[in-house]
Amino acid sequence: MKLTRRRLNAGGLALLAVGSLGTSARAGDGLVANLPEGDEQFGLATDAYIYAYPLVTMEMTRRVLTNVAEPKGTRAPMGRLIKLRQYPDAKFRDVTAPNADTLYTTAFFDVGDEPWVVSLPNLNDRYALFPMLDGWTTVFDVPGKRTTGTGQQTFVVTGPGWEGSIPQGMVQYKSPTSIVWLLGRIYCSGTPEDYAQVHKLQDEVKLCPLSAWGKDWNPPAGKVDPAIDMKMSVRDQVNNMDAVEYFTLFAELLKRNPPSAADGPMVAKLASIGIVPGQDFDKSKLDPALAKRVPQVGFGRIMTHFKASDGDIQDIDGWGFTTKTGIYGTNYLQRALITAIGLGANRPQDAIYPTSLKSDTGAIKRAYNGSEKYVLTFKKGLTPPVSGFWSLTMYDASYFFVDNPLNRYSISARQPLKAKPDGSIDLLIQHESPGPELESNWLPAPKGKFILMMRLYWPNESDPSIINGSWTIPPVRRVS
């Protein structure tokens, strides 16, 4: 195979990604290179780990976000709406790669016993989408401006195998699993006036079980489980489980969140290590000596998918680019990777998230560091062709926001960006302020390493260049 400069860049991007996500990823990457040959059970157990990663992560996310008695901040009990009143800040650690362009209106609810009803107000043509994820992180439906418009609408979400009648005027969305995560996003400019308008819309979103529709229903208080760790990030909690704990939880989740029909070959293999849908995990079938090593190698393989993705992730001018989000089929590695670094990712028709870990200056690309200055330049008239919005977001090496004096975590057209005399626009990415004259174009960086993510919401349907890759984001150049 010819080692082109692009292939080398893609490999370097992947290695940095693995190294940036903690000791478990680094250890796993090393172990992948030293697997015992012929250990069939070990290989199958790591396959099972990867397959299970989204469902286990969704459950742990659900536990943390719903472990409160009443809605407060970023958390609410099961079946209650979480209404973020402002963009997440640098203290937010519940979900990796949060956005600072929309206000989330979200909820976890269980449709295993009965359907749930969601009612949306008239959004007055404001951009919004309300994707629903099943327990495996598949986006099974996306009401919103792109698909169903912004008028008032009411829909009912039903669970696996449910049969019944739908009230007149409602649309039915069928969830493949009992777990449903409604992950609504309403665009907001971030001004006090616009915050107030979006808050009003959020308050008009309604959620209740079908049996309570049309009745004076008061949701019960949530039950707080003191055993749930509310401080450690969900990803770390999942990655810290040994294989027995992990597969025990996975088997329990399978009882109400069944695999898809396409997963048949994988399900057949799982039985040999004690995992059978509908049954408890039979730990006697798993060699206890593998309990620690399987999660390490499993997560290492997930993160190594950056550099050996078989085309799932392309490196284009220093940006890791993929359109394989939201719906995954049997691509279990891609699904697990997106779970690890961007849980809740949309379908590509709704959003694409190019990610950059290194600047495009010089023959050898270097990881971003706040000790240097960078610039991303859009030539005149060549900002991203989107029907929703675009933004550039700053994260630390673990995909969380970085505290900064402007409390600015993303930069986009909603800032009064200043153009140069030739009409081009420079986005300034650096730790130190560029001064009052250019502050509107400044995305503050931390002192150390960081990651950049572009959000391209609703790629323009009349100009498919984002989806097919013919439009590319300009490279980020190091200027000092």
Instruction: Based on the fold, state whether residues 360 and 385 are members of the same structural domain.
Output: yes
- First-to-last C-alpha distance (Å) of the chain: 35
Alpha carbon of residue 315 to chain centroid: 20
Confidence at residue 363, expressed as pLDDT on a 0 to 100 scale: 63
Distance CA 192, CA 305 (A): 42
13 sits in the region (left: phi over 0; alpha: psi -120 to 50; else beta) called: alpha
Say if residue 52 is in the same domain as residue 14: yes
The answer as to whether 70 is a domain residue is no
Question: Are 284 and 353 in the same domain?
Answer: no
Q: Are 202 and 105 in contact (CB under 8 A)?
A: yes
Beta bridge partners of 478: 374
Euclidean distance between CA atoms 131 and 137, whole angstroms:
11
Which domain does 382 fall in, by range? 346-478
**Same-domain status, 239 and 115:** no
Asked if 85 and 34 sit in the same domain, the reply is no
Residue 225 inside a domain? The answer is: no
**Does residue 158 fall inside a structural domain?**
yes
pLDDT of residue 399: 87
Is residue 218 one of the residues assigned to a domain? no
* Nearest residue to 159 (alpha-carbon basis) of 175, 179, 171: 175
Give domain status of residue 65, yes or no: no
Q: Could you tell me if 247 and 47 are in contact, meaning their C-beta atoms sit under 8 angstroms apart?
A: no
Asked if residue 222 belongs to a domain, the reply is no
User: Where residue 140 sits, what CATH number does that domain have?
Assistant: 2.60.40.1610
Q: Are residues 196 and 157 in the same domain?
A: yes
Written as tens digits, the pLDDT of the chain (480 aa) is 222 322 223 222 232 233 333 333 333 444 444 444 348 899 999 999 999 999 999 999 999 999 999 999 999 999 999 999 999 889 888 777 888 999 999 999 999 999 999 999 999 999 999 999 999 999 999 999 999 999 999 999 999 989 999 999 999 999 999 999 999 999 999 999 999 999 999 999 999 999 999 999 999 999 999 999 999 999 999 999 999 999 999 999 999 999 999 999 999 999 999 999 999 999 999 999 999 999 999 999 999 997 788 889 988 888 888 999 999 999 999 999 999 988 999 999 999 999 998 887 666 678 999 999 999 999 999 999 999 999 999 999 888 999 999 999 999 999 999 999 999 999 999 999 999 999 999 999 999 999 999 999 999 877 777 877 777 789 999 998
Find the CATH number of the domain harbouring 353. 2.60.120.600
pLDDT at 361: 66
* Distance from C-alpha of 2 to C-alpha of 476, rounded to nearest angstrom: 26
Q: Which of 335, 357, 391 is the last residue of a domain?
A: 335
Question: Could you give the number of structural domains in the chain?
Answer: 3
Decide if 131 contacts 346 (C-beta within 8 A).
yes
> Considering all CA atoms of the chain, what is the largest pairwise distance in Å, rounded to the nearest integer?
71
Residue 138 lies in a domain: yes
Quick one: pLDDT at residue 115? 98
CA dihedral of residues 395, 399, 405, 407 (deg, nearest 10): 100
Q: What's the half-sphere exposure (Cβ side, CA atoms, 13 Å) at 452?
A: 30
Q: Are residues 118 and 196 in the same domain?
A: yes
Domain shared by 207 and 243, yes or no: no
Query: pLDDT per residue over 200-212, tens digit each?
Result: 999 999 999 999 9
Residue 66 falls within a domain, yes or no?
A: no
Q: Do 104 and 196 belong together in one domain?
A: yes
Dihedral angle computed from the Cα positions of residues 409, 415, 420 and 421, in that order, rounded to the nearest 10 degrees = 180
- Interval 264-323: pLDDT, tens: 999 999 999 999 999 999 999 999 999 999 999 999 999 999 778 888 998 888 888 899
Q: Are residues 179 and 240 in the same domain?
A: no
> Is the pTM of the predicted complex or chain greater than 0.95?
no
Last residue of some domain: 179, 212, 245? 212
Assess whether 254 and 193 both reside in one domain.
Answer: no
- Does 355 lie in the same domain as 324? no
Query: 300, 335, 370: which is the final residue of a domain?
Result: 335
